[in-house]
């Protein structure tokens, strides 16, 4: 009886840990791309478009690069407070784009701050394509 | 005249040290060595450090009153121009941590309202006044520091709640690393 309980406990634990496992940048870009294709079936994430978007000044006089700099593999700096920000490019910072909660939160906040609106799935896919193209 | 001086001087010898000691423990003081806080402030709350320590250093709860913190938390959608809103669970934990560790003094701004900026409080302005302790006028707007919100620029170990004199180094205004 005990070994049955232990085994089912282990299975439950394994399932739970798989369900909440950290994702990878590749997982995120696949998801954003799939979501973007619901509106535009021909959509393909573009690193060039992502770079342009990243460096463009949007509604609130900021660009993504205002804080994350034009070289996302470098240390960034908050445009207002001056606080140092760890690199955004996954090649320079292995913690980036590994947590769904974190990715959702920062896109929500930062797109709101920079664009004054939510980023679309296509925009997120493009930005991530750009970030993933950066070598350390 | 001499007898008056002779009467006064022992009084002065007793009272001045007493006043200095009292000065160390009060907010407004004349000497500059007592401004640094030698023991770290408590910022030991994971949720607080994570949610409130990305865009700026996690500020010690002790630097603002409960009223000040409550004011800040009730307006996170527009937190100094940014959206810093929290999920309910984080908000609850952070509120509790802040309220438990907040200052017991008032931290009002010049209009008598609970200040939302640590740098607007009486104590801060006194401890960071230009000309005091090596602080040149304009240092907070310099390239190196950028903002009075950027404690880490000078308080090198602020991320650990450490504002001690040991880890205090004012950078060159240009931000030239070789001058740090």
A113–B153: do the CB atoms touch at under 8 Å? no
**Contacts for B45-53 with beta carbons within 8 Å, 24 or more apart?**
B45/B93, B45/B94, B45/B97, B47/B90, B47/B93, B47/B94, B47/B97, B48/B93, B48/B94, B48/B97, B48/B98, B51/B86, B51/B90, B51/B94, B52/B84, B52/B94, B53/B159
pLDDT level of residue B8 (50, 70, 90 thresholds): low
Find the CB nearest A83 among B80, B82, B152.
B152
pLDDT digits (tens, 9 = 90+) for B58-69: 999 999 999 999
Q: Is the Cβ of B55 closer than 8 Å to some Cβ of chain A?
A: yes
DSSP B56-120: S----GGGSBHHHHHHHHTTGGGBTTB-----HHHHHHHHHHHHHHSBSS--B-TTSSBPS-GGG
pLDDT digits (tens, 9 = 90+) for A3-33: 666 665 555 555 444 444 559 999 999 999 9
B131/A75: higher pLDDT: A75
pLDDT digits (tens, 9 = 90+) for B71-127: 999 999 999 989 898 989 999 999 999 999 999 999 998 888 999 999 999 889 999
CA distance A101 to chain B (A): 11
Q: Which of B82, B90, B141, B180 to mutate to test the interface with A (most CBs of A within 10 A)?
A: B82
Residue B26's pLDDT is what? 47
> Residue length, chain A?
136
- For residue B27, is pLDDT > 90? no
B residues 124-153 closer than 8 Å to A (CB):
145-147, 149-150, 152-153
Q: What is the ipTM of this complex?
A: 0.74
- For residue B133, is pLDDT > 50? yes
A109–B81: do the CB atoms touch at under 8 Å? no
For the question of whether the overall pTM of this predicted structure is more than 0.80, the answer is: no
B87/B1: higher pLDDT: B87
A interface with B, Cβ–Cβ below 8 Å: 77-78, 80-85, 108-109, 112-113
A82–B147: do the CB atoms touch at under 8 Å? yes
Q: Which residue has the tokens 């070289």?
A: A71
pLDDT above 90 coverage of chain B, percent = 64
Half-sphere exposure of A36 (CA within 13 A, CB side): 19
CA distance B56 to chain A (A): 5
- For residue A89, is pLDDT > 70? yes
Phi-psi map region of B42: left, alpha, beta (phi>0 left; psi -120 to 50 alpha): beta
Phi-psi map region of B112: left, alpha, beta (phi>0 left; psi -120 to 50 alpha): left
């Amino acid at each position: 009886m005990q070994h049955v309980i232990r085994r089912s406990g282990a299975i439950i634990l394994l399932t739970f840990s798989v369900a909440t496992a950290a994702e990878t940048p590749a997982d995120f870009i696949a998801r954003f791309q799939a979501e973007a294709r619901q509106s535009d079936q021909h959509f393909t994430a573009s690193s060039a478009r992502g770079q342009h978007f990243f460096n463009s000044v949007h509604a609130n006089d900021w660009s993504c690069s205002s804080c994350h700099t034009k070289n996302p593999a470098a240390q960034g700096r908050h445009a207002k407070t001056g606080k140092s920000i760890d690199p955004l490019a996954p090649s320079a910072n292995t913690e980036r784009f590994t947590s769904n909660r974190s990715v959702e939160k920062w896109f929500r906040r930062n797109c709101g701050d920079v664009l004054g609106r939510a980023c679309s799935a296509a925009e997120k896919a493009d930005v991530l394509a750009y970030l993933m193209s950066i070598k350390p | 005249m001499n007898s008056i001086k002779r009467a006064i001087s022992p009084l002065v010898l007793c009272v001045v040290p007493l006043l200095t000691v009292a000065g160390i423990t009060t907010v407004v003081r004349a000497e500059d060595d007592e401004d640094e806080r030698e023991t770290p402030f408590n910022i030991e709350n994971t949720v607080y450090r994570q949610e409130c320590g990305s865009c700026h250093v996690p500020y010690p709860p002790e630097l603002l009153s409960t009223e000040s913190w409550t004011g800040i938390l009730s307006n996170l959608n527009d937190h100094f121009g940014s959206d810093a809103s929290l999920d309910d669970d984080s908000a609850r934990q952070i509120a509790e941590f802040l309220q438990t560790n907040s200052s017991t003094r008032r931290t009002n701004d010049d209009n008598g309202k609970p200040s939302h900026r640590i740098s607007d409080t009486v104590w801060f302005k006194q401890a960071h006044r230009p000309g005091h302790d090596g602080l040149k006028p304009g240092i907070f707007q310099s390239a190196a520091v950028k903002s009075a919100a950027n404690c880490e620029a000078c308080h090198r170990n602020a991320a650990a709640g450490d504002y001690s004199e040991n880890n205090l180094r004012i950078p060159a205004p240009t931000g030239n690393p070789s001058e740090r």
